[in-house]
Amino acid sequence: MSWRTFPTFRSKAFCSFLLGILTVLGFAPFYLFPVPVATLALLCHFWRRHAAPLHGFLLGFAFGMGLFSAGVTWIYVSLHDFGAMPMPAAVLALLILCAYLALFPAVTGWILAKLGSTSPVSWSLLAGALWGLSDWLRSVLFTGFPWLTLGYSQAPASPLAGYAPLMGVYGVSLVLVLSAALLGLQTGKSFRKWFLLLAIWIGGLGLQQIPWTDPDGEPVSVSLVQGNIAQDLKWREDQLAASMEAYARLVLESSGRLIVTPEISIPLYRDEVPAAYLAQLASHARRNRGDILIGMVEAPQVGGEYYNAMFSFGTAPEQRYRKHHLVPFGEFIPFKPLFGWVIDVLKIPLSDFARGDPYQQPMHLAGQKIAVNICYEDVFGEEIIRQLPQATLLVNVSNDAWFGRSIGPRQHLQISQMRAMETGRYMLRATNTGVTAIIDARGRVRQEAEVFTATVLHGMAQGYAGATPYVRYGNGLFLLLAGMLLAAGCLPIVRGLRKNL
């Protein structure tokens, strides 16, 4: 890095940081899907102008710090407001997490620079493939944290979201960055680049017209219960009776064949809940000719293990789903010898759950086959499809009260919209404080309950059969395309090396 160019580079690094912040506007609750295309186009332009690997790394890191520090501020709310972590420690923890997440775009910039100068089209192919792979890798390492994966910003309205049923959210990230790179490096003289850019967007629009799945049977009436129990009251023993009464009242107001309550709506072990209480709710579900899903903690098994679970009651035999993908430091403590002290710092009840089986079967309820996922699990599309194509409906139950009145709950809603698009299934969301919603198979929010109110969202949900390519192959098509683009992008480099030999 030349000292003379440092002031110019420093200003571009600061601009990259601001571009990262602006990129958050592409995600919910803003849904301004063209914004990430524009911000990534400028970042790619900066990357191309500063070819040194260190420059690429720092520009990517600055962009990532802007994106994540603005986009995951709800983590501070969870740690400080509800986890009782002291403010300095919560701020430090948030900054460390953001710095870790920012390494992924930073390494992308470094690799692009290391691969050397290629034609604009080849460079764009490499940029799209590398960013898509970095988003995917972020979902895998250390149990994964794919929040703010760029592809989510395109759900549900962008033409690029048409690639979701084909390649999932990471494929959408790939085509987003590919098109942004082409746009940012466009000189106005290359017909090939404009043709490829238009083909990407028109292709996505065309894919949106394909009915990947088909309606299966008649729509089913649903009632999604939102208890609105404040997070600081949820686990207090003196509030337990009031919480149970509130949920009983809301359930008895529900008219749907399928009634869904949020994650751990009753903060007790399943065996501790009075039998008469569950019998009353089950009887109501049977009167509706259907079933109810209730969130409870499954009592400790042999070895003291307990599970975050959903139990069904009603016309069908009782069934159960155990949460598999747990939240680090919220539901389990990774590397206990190193991080066991976190349990004493964070005032989070039941923070050491056991994992359920990763390959559980759909529940047969209210004439549908229900693929249940609990809270954080719907961030992992490759895990949701394990219950497909057998399942006809997706159900996500959450307690986003941990996020407070931040943008976190809306971002979580958009993630569920992407899952609906990937699978070609309705997604039903029942949450404690919001956002409780009915999402159709194209990712559109059909109905939504008012947040932070105790209410029941009544509506209809259509079951679907069939399998999108993503359901059949998971991330396989995305990984195949990323590999092909890497090969195509590196081909000019290989040819250049051969000429120099």
Residues designated catalytic: 263, 323, 375
Helical residues (DSSP H) of 253-369, grouped into ranges: 275-287, 336-339, 342-345
Are the CB atoms for 477 and 171 separated by under 8 Å?
yes
Nearest to residue 320, comparing CAs of 364, 283, 350?
Answer: 364
DSSP sequence for 212-232: -SEE-SS-EEEEEEE----HH
| Beta-sheet pairing, 437-439 with 445-448 | antiparallel
Which neighbouring-strand residues pair with 398? Answer: 431
Question: 1-37: string of b/e by CB count within 10 Å (b at 16+)?
Answer: eeeeeeeebeebbebbbebbbbbbbbbbeebebebbb
Q: Which two tokens stand for residue 124?
A: 């764009």
Q: Render 39-92 in DSSP notation, one character per residue.
A: HHHHHHHHHHH--SHHHHHHHHHHHHHHHHHHH-THHHIIIIIIT---HHHHHH
Strand, coil or helix: 408: helix
d(CA 441, CA 268): 34
Instruction: Note every long-range contact of 332-337, with CB atoms under 8 Å and residues 24 or more positions apart, other chains counting.
Output: 334/142, 334/143
Strands 437-439 and 427-431: what pairing?
A: antiparallel
